[in-house]
Chain A
Amino acid sequence: MVRNSLGRELPESFNGRQVVPYQDPYSLQPDCNQATRPLRRINPDQEKVLPNLREAIIAAGLKDGMCIATHHHLRNGDALLGAVVRELDALGLRDITIASSSIHPVHAELIPYIEKGVISGFECGVNGPIGEMVSRGELNCPIIVRTHGGRARAVMSGQVQIDAAFIAAPSCDSYGNMTGAFGPSACGSLGYAHTDARYAKKVIAVTDNLVPYPARSFAIQQTLVDYVVPVESLGDPSKIVSTTTRITRDPVGLQIAKYAAQVIETSGLLQDGFSFQTGSGGISLAVADQVRQKMQAGNIKGSFGCGGITGYFVDMLEEGLFQTLFDVQCFDLKAVESIGKNAGHQEISADMYANPFNAGAVVNQLDCVILGATEVDVNFNVNVNTESNGLLLHNTGGHSDTAAGAKLSIITAPSIRGRLPIVRDEVTTVTTPGATIDVIITERGIAVNEQHADLKQELQKRKLPVKDIRELQQEIYSVTGKPRPLEFTDDVVALIEYRDGSIIDAVRKIKT
């Protein structure tokens, strides 16, 4: 066992790989070149279109022990990963690693194939039942949870080698030029798949909308694509909608949003050139709404909005409040529609969005990000991966990437969730280090990280309810009481990788 700088106990190695303990957010340097893959040659007489997934798996040369990837732009509507795994099983393949950009509850369909040995590990975070079962020890399948930027880094550095990337392509021509903007399964940006297309040994475009060559616009180009497979359907695009895309009506949520908007205003960042990211939850949208009103009132022209893009940000783009949207992923169908028609709505790769090991990602240019949390602790560390029951239920997304990049990273969360206090002595799992979190906002008060004494003073001057984080914790405890600590076994079932590849925490099997 080793301890990282946050005092989290880690195994020395996991799933055959040496663990590098997390030290701090910014100093770890890359020490290798970019990954390579073999060059290939397609001659004029060669066709790329194959009749089905099975032929593509055979053509790609997939063997036992290899690694495949898909993207999660269809989120809980994705049917491709399940279809690929069923074919792998039918071909008798075993011990396959999944390095998709994320796993969703819909992928509970993979569970029998994990039990059967077809799938032996996940080089990516998981949302939903798989993580829950792994946490309970009901499934044996190591998981390495990564941020969006961290995944791009892992693929580009060769830490994760994808043997075959199956890219769901809502619109694709016979030579592999593809886009997510059009087609019956349109999902908008294909941001997470760009890295796969560049680094996977074989790239297979899978489409339910084969268009004549050349496709009128494309996000990923033919020179990167080996095969094209037409299928009946990629899934259900109506399930792209991630959580909620409506502004909360809950008075607690609205109060949090109001404080968040006041903090942003007080920070002095809300001026011409302002750049901003929020998630898609009801509170995030309420913050976006308040910021929008303040921008309108002050006639402020922002520079860009980024991240997962919602219809709300599209409205702000169309109203001229932002010049550009950098879109790595569309959160709703309005964003999908916009990416095909608004010139200022630009698709970007996860590498450009958030990779710490390139010559500068978009998150480095971000003024302010609004993030969520399942728990925070008195050192401002944030958990989004596990819940207070200790179960691994959520992927990290861009949480740690944007927190590290943005000038002002704000956590918004209700002070009490399911009768449990949100501010703990220690979070169950550290996802994002407190060193990169500036302000935590609950409806009962605003806690400012010590490194921002100026902001704290200014907020106090404006009579906002600024509280020391321990004071806030005590206030919440006075309502909820102090929860009993969870009990875990020593078995590590998952690692939480920080964006730079060091390990920030380990998830252990719960005691049942």
Chain B
Amino acid sequence: MSVFQLRRSLLYVPGNMPSMLQNIPIFESDGVMIDLEDAVPLSEKDAARILVRRFLENYQDRNKEIIVRINALDTKWGEDDLRAVLPALPDGIRLPKADTPEIVETLDTMLTEFEEELGLEIGRFKILPSIESAEGVINCIRTAKSTKRLIGLAFGAEDYTASLEIERTKKGEELFAARTRVVWACKAAGIQAIDTIFADAGDMEGLHRETQLIKTLGFSGKSLVNPRQIDVIHEVFAPKQEDVDYALQVVDAIQKAREMGTGVISLHGKMVDAPVVKRAVNTLKTAQAHGMIDIELDEEVIYGQE
């Protein structure tokens, strides 16, 4: 996987619905999270597992990141979920109820065992833990550093508000502290922060507002429940033209600097060094995903050779 993977939009797809699964290739989200947990009724857990495995085996030309949300590891389904889907090679596992770093470590160990069994590179399967309870929020700073497999932390507001015995509101003031803490944890660990779903698929204005808010807070993307929400989220995350222009100048400057054998250069009187370059590259990759620019980014030139 490249240094930078866009995860603005991670779409939930119920694992028990063939009609939805077959459309995964056509959705324009950055990733999908095939759900074996809450979306699947107890009576269909087995069937969904088989269906998802078959779908993934047939989905050869992957055009987006595939994450499977398994049932929590303390349920009787969690391990069987892994056993069924991992041979079909999803990119990662979304782990529900990641209340403590130890829970994530348990999954880490299990994934290593599966990788050995399947003859895969260790660390191939990524983990996206759900932070969805008071305890999870308290522990998330340690959870974010629990294993190298983490691609980010995903905040889950529905379960979180339930654990606090409060109502979730559209404005989301009740989520502010938890969201901020999750973002801190992620940024400190160098991983991505993924925000919770916006449940009202008919309210595009509300979704726009909430996405604007979480982008400001530092989240890199959002879980979503309906494909119609994808465009709204991408629109909010689209970089501004002036940011793209500046990023292009930064990359140009650092490439010249590399040619001169240095890693620092000044642009418009400001120092351009590694963090500035990294941000610029992220901006350009986002811009590329939005079709705003069409350039080749040579990461060796940008980050320098070892």
User: Which A residues have a C-beta under 8 Å from some C-beta of B?
Assistant: 249, 251-252, 254-255, 416, 443-444, 462-463, 478-479
User: Which B residues have a C-beta under 8 Å from some C-beta of A?
Assistant: 22-23, 25-28, 58, 226-228, 291
Complexed CA–CA distance, A479 and B18 (Å):
11
Chain B residues whose CB sits within 8 angstroms of the CB of A416 once the complex forms: 22
The contact sample of 10 A-B pairs, CB cut-off 8 A, is: A251-B23, A251-B227, A251-B228, A252-B26, A255-B26, A416-B22, A443-B23, A443-B26, A444-B25, A478-B58
Complexed CA–CA distance, A416 and B27 (Å):
15
Residue on A with the closest CB to B288? A463
A444 near B26 (CB under 8 angstroms)? Answer: yes
B291 near A251 (CB under 8 angstroms)? Answer: no
A251 near B27 (CB under 8 angstroms)? Answer: yes
A508 CB → nearest B CB, Å: 33
Question: What is the predominant secondary structure among interface residues of chain B facing chain A?
Answer: loop
Residue on B with the closest CB to A444? B26
B228 near A254 (CB under 8 angstroms)? Answer: yes
Residue on B with the closest CB to A461? B294
Chain B residues whose CB sits within 8 angstroms of the CB of A462 once the complex forms: 291
Chain A residues whose CB sits within 8 angstroms of the CB of B26 once the complex forms: 252, 255, 443-444
Complexed CA–CA distance, A27 and B23 (Å):
43
Chain B residues whose CB sits within 8 angstroms of the CB of A251 once the complex forms: 23, 27, 226-228
B22 near A479 (CB under 8 angstroms)? Answer: yes
Complexed CA–CA distance, A416 and B228 (Å):
20
Q: Which 6 A-B pairs have the closest CB atoms?
A: A251-B227, A443-B26, A255-B26, A479-B22, A444-B26, A252-B23
Chain B residues whose CB sits within 8 angstroms of the CB of A255 once the complex forms: 26-28, 227
Complexed CA–CA distance, A244 and B202 (Å):
20
A320 CB → nearest B CB, Å: 25
Complexed CA–CA distance, A413 and B278 (Å):
43
Residue on B with the closest CB to A443? B26
Chain B residues whose CB sits within 8 angstroms of the CB of A479 once the complex forms: 22, 58
Chain A residues whose CB sits within 8 angstroms of the CB of B227 once the complex forms: 251, 254-255
A447 CB → nearest B CB, Å: 15
Complexed CA–CA distance, A254 and B23 (Å):
12
A255 CB → nearest B CB, Å: 6
B256 CB → nearest A CB, Å: 29
- 13 A-B pairs besides A254-B228, A443-B23, A478-B58 with CB distance below 8 A are A249-B228, A251-B23, A251-B27, A251-B227, A251-B228, A252-B23, A254-B227, A255-B28, A255-B227, A416-B22, A444-B25, A463-B291, A479-B58
B238 CB → nearest A CB, Å: 15
Chain A residues whose CB sits within 8 angstroms of the CB of B28 once the complex forms: 255
Chain A residues whose CB sits within 8 angstroms of the CB of B22 once the complex forms: 416, 479
Chain B residues whose CB sits within 8 angstroms of the CB of A252 once the complex forms: 23, 26
